[in-house]
Amino acid sequence: MLVEQFDLTAEAVHPLLHGVEEKLLSVLRWAREYLCRPHPELGRKGPVCPFAQASLDRGMFYLAVHRGETVAPAVLDGLLMTYRDWFRELPPTAGPAAQFKTILLTLPDLPPDQANTVVDRAQERLKPQYVAEGLMVGEFHAGPPEKAGLWNVDFRPLYSPVPLLAIRHMVSSDFPFLADDADAVAAYLRLFGANTPPALRTRVSAAAREFGLSLPAPEPVSPRPPVPQLADQQGATS
């Protein structure tokens, strides 16, 4: 089941959502008020997540729910693989707009003293397989997760009011999250090696050399036709 805002405010709420409507609404508020806005500790300009606003605006920001105060690792892994497959089928399945699509698997019943470990370990287990398939799985909880921000090492950006794991497409700016693992770097190179953002090219090249990987050749740039020269006003009147 995928949940959108109207599912949480409808007169007849799905039984699966009974008792956690407010927690799920808090996730939507968190997305709008935290992910979509700048943060003084972020260390760069712009919103915390560059894609969240477009995802919400386009109706591609989906919540999923797993109820229960405990969840076995195998059960959680199976759920995340099921939602991974569903994610692939959701439109758009290709093209630039697909990068705005996301599914957040929320775990609203997990006790706070368990949520951090459950979410972090699930992300660690599944990240290699997701990355190999051009996807990312992110861990969010109220801990917050220990991973530091890219632009401010004292900032912990992966905070959320409800424990959750987020599924999305990998984008070219994700390289810093992948740079310390040879298989992850190889997956990144397969997807973006020829079109690495200029700001990351030095880091990508260094990682490729470190792991003995080949950089794809840059894609050829089609020559542009010459721009017609316009006569100046004085010449045009002659």
pLDDT digits (tens, 9 = 90+) for 52-95: 999 999 999 999 999 999 999 999 999 999 999 999 999 999 99
pLDDT band at 230 (very low <50, low <70, confident <90, very high): very low
pTM: 0.87
pLDDT (0 to 100) of residue 145: 84
Record the tokens describing residue 28, joined without a space.
């939507």
Whether residue 222 has pLDDT greater than 80: no
Q: What is the pLDDT of residues 161-215, one digit of tens each?
A: 999 999 999 999 999 999 999 999 999 999 998 889 998 999 999 999 999 998 8
**If we measure between CA atoms, which residue out of 226, 168, 219, 164 comes closest to residue 194?**
219
Peptide bond into 228 cis (omega under 30): no
Reported as type and span, the H/E element at residue 87 is helix 73-89
pLDDT band at 234 (very low <50, low <70, confident <90, very high): very low
Average pLDDT over residues 149-160: 91
Whether residue 9 has pLDDT greater than 90: no
pLDDT band at 218 (very low <50, low <70, confident <90, very high): low
Whether residue 235 has pLDDT greater than 60: no
Amino acid code (one letter) for 45: K
Q: When comparing pLDDT for 228 and 61, which is higher? A: 61
Average predicted confidence (pLDDT) for the chain = 89
Q: Which phi and psi (to 5°) does residue 146 adopt? A: -75, -15
Q: When comparing pLDDT for 80 and 220, which is higher? A: 80
Determine if residue 134 is left, alpha or beta; phi over 0 gives left, psi from -120 to 50 gives alpha, anything else beta: left
pLDDT band at 46 (very low <50, low <70, confident <90, very high): very high
How many angstroms separate the CA atoms of 155 and 158, rounded? Answer: 9
How many angstroms separate the CA atoms of 58 and 61, rounded? Answer: 8
Count the alpha carbons within 13 Å of 87 in the hemisphere toward its beta carbon: 29
